[in-house]
Amino acid sequence: MLTEQQRAIVKSTVPLLEAGGEALTTHFYNIMLSENEGVQPLFNSVHQQTGAQPRALARSVLMYAKHIDDLSGLGNLPAQIIHKHVSLQVQPEHYPIVGNYLLRAIREVLGAEIATDEVIAAWAAAYGQLADILIGAEKGIYAANAQAEGGWQGARRFVVAGKQAESVEVTSFILCPEDGGKVLVHQSGQFIGLRLEIDGKEVRRNYSLSQAANGESLRISVKREQGGVVSSHLHDKVQVGDVLEVFAPAGFFVLDSSDKPLVFMAAGVGITPIMAMLEQALKTQRPITLIHCSRSPAVQPFRAQLLALAQQHPQLKLRLAYEHEAVELPMQNVQVVAGMADARLLQSWLPEDKDVQAYFLGPVGFMRVAQQALQQAGVPAAQCHYEFFGPAQALAA
C-alpha cells in the first residue's frame, strides 16, 4: 500500500514526466519488446513506429501521478485501458513484466541521481496499486463474459461465414462460432479481439463490432491500412470458411438507454461501431442525426446502407461531407456538402435542442473538431461520448 511519503515522491516526479515522459516510455517499450517476446503480441508495432503508443503511455503515467491522491480524477482513462486489455486478453502474469521494465526505464532515463532508491520504491508501490486495480476489474469482466449465455473466456474459434466489401477500402467479415453455439449479446459500440498467426508470429488486434447483437454471429468491418500487416492479411488471405480465434466483446463506448435524441458523428472507418448503435437505436422512437465525413463516396463504408436507412426511417437525418467530391442526393432526410467538415459545419447540423446524447469517433483531428462543435453548441460534457481506435490521446488542443 502506498504511504503518504511515497505519494509525495510520486507527485514530485510530475514535472519530470511533463518534460520527458515520452522519452521514458519510448525507452521502456524499446527494451521490453526487444528483450521479452512473450508480450510482443499485445502491442501494435505500427503504434510503436508512429510514437502513438509511447505518447499514450506517457500521458497515462503522467495523469496517474497527478491524480495519485484521488484516482476519480482520471475519468474514463482506467476504463479505456481495462477494456482494451480485456479485448487482447492481458493476464495478471503480464503485469510484473511490464512493471519491472517500467522501473528499469525510469532508472535508466532519469539517472541514479534523480531516480534514487526512494523514487524507485515509491513508483514500484504506485505501479503495484494500479496493477491491482486493473487486474481486479479485468478479472470481473472475464468472469462476466464466461458466465453469460453464449459467452466464453480466452480464445474461441469462429468461422468466417461471409466476406463483403463495404467500400474500396473496408471489408466486413461475418463470424459464426465453429461449435455452433450461441454468441453472447454484446452492447452496441463494443469491440472484439482477434488472435492470428502471420508469417510465424502471433499478433493480436481489436476491431469494432459493426452490427448489433443477434445471438448468432459477429461482424467486424476492417479498413485496409497502408503498411498494416493484420488488415492486409485479413483482406488478402482470410476467406469464407477460414477459422479465426476471437476474444469476447469488451468496451465502454456503448449506446445509452435514455430516450434523449441521438447525434452520431464519424469520419471514415469510425462509422463501424456507430453502425451497430444505429441499428439498435432505430428500433426506438429516438430522433437521430448521423453525420459522416469521408474523402469521397467511393471510400465511404456503408454508404448504400445509410442512404437506404434514411429513406426507411423518418426519424433519421443523414448528413454527409465529402472532402474531394460530392454528389447531390434528392432525398428529404439527407444533406450533402463538399469540402472538409469544420466545427461550424458540424454545429450547424446539430438538432435545435442540444439536450442530446452525442457519440463521435474517427481520426484524432476530426474528434477534436467534433468535441469543439459539441462544446460550443452547449451539449453537456457528460452527454458527449468518444472512443479511440488506437492508443488513447488527449483531445484538448
pLDDT, one tens digit per residue, over 319-372 is: 999 998 767 777 889 999 998 899 999 999 999 999 999 999 999 899 999 999
Domains of the chain: 4-147 (1.10.490.10), 155-250 (2.40.30.10), 262-386 (3.40.50.80)
Rounded average pLDDT over 240-264: 96
The rounded mean pLDDT for the chain is: 93
Model confidence at 397, in pLDDT bands (50, 70, 90)? Answer: very low
17 has a pLDDT exceeding 80: yes
- Of 115, 123, 148, 177, the C-alpha closest to 5 is 123
138 as an active site residue: the answer is yes
196 has a pLDDT exceeding 60: yes
Rounded average pLDDT over 215-237: 95
Instruction: Kindly name the residue from 29, 64, 101, 138 that is annotated as catalytic.
Output: 138
Tens digits of residue pLDDT in 262-280? 999 999 999 999 999 999 9
359 as an active site residue: the answer is no
| Out of 116-120, 228-232, 385-389, 393-397, least confident range | 393-397
- Of 57, 274, 295, the C-alpha closest to 168 is 295
Using CA atoms, how far apart are residues 50 and 258, in angstroms rounded to an integer? 39
Tens digits of residue pLDDT in 133-152? 999 999 999 999 999 999 99
Using CA atoms, how far apart are residues 145 and 186, in angstroms rounded to an integer? 9
Instruction: Kindly name the residue from 64, 95, 127, 207 that is annotated as catalytic.
Output: 95
| Higher pLDDT, residue 313 or 52 | 313
Rounded average pLDDT over 158-181: 97
Tens digits of residue pLDDT in 293-319? 999 999 999 999 999 999 999 999 999
- Of 229, 172, 223, 373, the C-alpha closest to 291 is 373
183 has a pLDDT exceeding 80: yes
Q: Determine contact, residues 177/156, Cβ cutoff 8 Å.
A: yes
| Higher pLDDT, residue 51 or 156 | 156
Predicted local confidence at residue 59, as pLDDT: 85
Model confidence at 35, in pLDDT bands (50, 70, 90)? Answer: very high
Strand residues in the chain grouped as ranges (E): 156-165, 170-177, 191-198, 201-208, 218-223, 243-250, 262-267, 288-294, 316-322, 334-338, 357-361, 384-386
